[in-house]
Amino acid sequence: MHRSAKRLASLLACAAVPVMLVAGCSSDDDSGKKESGGGASKSATPSKSGSSSPSVAPAKLKKLPNPCQAVSQDTVKKLVPKTKNADGEQGKSSDAMARGYCAWNSSDSQGVDGTQYRWLDVGFQRYDSDPTLGTGEKRATDFYKKQVDAAKATQDAKNTKTGAVEGNGDESAWITYDLKKDGSDFKNQTVVARTANVVVTVNYNGAGMAGADAPDPSDLLKAAETAAKEAVAAVGKANQ
């Protein structure tokens, strides 16, 4: 079965970059001057030294929400009905304030009409400001673009389409595509949103199996947008 979460999990596994400070120094020397009596005197000013480092605006958002609580239980039930774990499966993170991840999946058997499969995952990536790398917002903007490009470039994807999501953070985009896996046609929806220095990525896909009809992509996209907006709102609440 297709699990777009693997790609996201690997993208979120980012290494911390140490802060580097740039030091500078300067010195001044004055030569001695002969006095009228013919004697020579020599004086010197102390050398001046100091250090300075580039300054950047501090990151606006300091915390991330619990990823498995960023989407309401009602939304989880609608998107992944009959999931075996309504609380979600939380991904491991070495720094819960920098990144987080949670996933849900379900197989809803409909008897002779086949089975409907659904997968939902929510990922968070937060950036601090860094003198050598830029503000947290700039770093998040760069990562946001990478997430959108990665979704567009999904291997073996067909019928890829993109668009903007209105009213979701500072910027947000959706990407939809079809992917055939193990004989089933998966309809995939990815919504990426940035709010200040935090990037939220939601992946939602579904497939009709064992003779079931494929789900309507437009319905899946609306559901993914709902989950993404709830996740962005959860970031705001965590930082109140």
User: What distance in Å separates the CA atoms of residue 48 and residue 157, rounded to the nearest whole number?
Assistant: 62
Mean pLDDT for the stretch of residues 163-185: 94
Q: How confident is the model at residue 124 (pLDDT cuts 50, 70, 90)?
A: very high
User: What distance in Å separates the CA atoms of residue 19 and residue 149, rounded to the nearest whole number?
Assistant: 28
Instruction: Return the structure tokens found at 50.
Output: 């100091």
Per-residue confidence (pLDDT) for residue 52, from 0 to 100: 54
Decide if pLDDT at 168 tops 50. yes
- In this structure, are residues 67 and 122 in contact, taking their beta carbons and an 8 Å threshold? yes
Q: Can you tell me which residue has the tokens 């809803």?
A: 108
User: What distance in Å separates the CA atoms of residue 39 and residue 206, rounded to the nearest whole number?
Assistant: 95
- In this structure, are residues 139 and 197 in contact, taking their beta carbons and an 8 Å threshold? yes
Q: Which residues pair with 49 in a beta bridge?
A: 25
Three-state SS string over the chain comes to CCCCHHHHHHHHCCCCCCCCCCEEECCCCCCCCECCCCCECCCCCCCCEEECCCCCCCCCCCCCCCHHHCCCHHHHHHHCCCCCCCCCEECCCCCCCCEEEEEEEEEEECHHHCEEEEEEEEEEEECCCECCCECHHHHHHHHHHHHHHHHHCCCCCEEEEEEECCCCCCEEEEEEEEEEECCEEEEEEEEEEEECCEEEEEEEEEEEECCCCCCCHHHHHHHHHHHHHHHHHHHHHHCC
The residue ranking higher by pLDDT, 3 or 187, is 187
Q: Can you tell me which residue has the tokens 């990562």?
A: 143
Q: Where are the domains of the chain?
A: 61-238
Per-residue confidence (pLDDT) for residue 118, from 0 to 100: 96
Mean pLDDT for the stretch of residues 198-209: 95
Per-residue confidence (pLDDT) for residue 45, from 0 to 100: 46
The residue ranking higher by pLDDT, 28 or 128, is 128
Q: Can you tell me which residue has the tokens 């990407």?
A: 175
Residues 6+ apart with CB under 8 A from 87: 68
Q: How confident is the model at residue 53 (pLDDT cuts 50, 70, 90)?
A: low
Per-residue confidence (pLDDT) for residue 43, from 0 to 100: 44
Q: Which of 128, 127, 124, 106 is nearest to 115 (CA)?
A: 106
User: What distance in Å separates the CA atoms of residue 202 and residue 215, rounded to the nearest whole number?
Assistant: 18
**What CATH fold (topology level) applies to the domain 61-238?**
Protein Transport Mog1p; Chain A (3.40.1000)
